[in-house]
Amino acid sequence: MRAYVEIDIEPGRDVIASAEFIRQIEGVIEAYAVSDKCDIFAAVEAPDFKGIYELVMRKIQVIRGVVDTRILPCIEFEDRKASVTKDIESTFPEGAGPPL
């Protein structure tokens, strides 16, 4: 499973160095200092949401200077695409369905 994490760093900390440090953590795919509501935007992966949560809480949230994190889980539909496409196509007469 993949999720994105918004990370807030306390004022005065080196955000770029913090992003570089976070990038080294196992399970972190990418981490960038950004100019937005958060200071660092990271992509993380784990087998399931529990793994994502543990990664964020045990390896990112505990870093000195990290003041808050928000997990944005990705919702993946690829596993269901074939069955959804089949269901949609079966609704229409042959050749009359929507372009997929």
pLDDT tens track for 34-88: 998 999 999 999 999 999 999 999 999 999 999 999 999 988 665 555 444 455 4
Note the pLDDT of residue 84: 45
d(CA 66, CA 86): 46
pTM (predicted TM-score): 0.75
Ranges of each domain in the chain: 2-73
* Per-residue confidence band for 6, with pLDDT thresholds at 50, 70 and 90: very high
d(CA 38, CA 59): 18
What's the CATH architecture for 2-73?
Answer: 2-Layer Sandwich (3.30)
User: In what side-by-side order are the strands of the sheet with 40-45?
Assistant: 28-33, 40-45, 2-9, 66-73
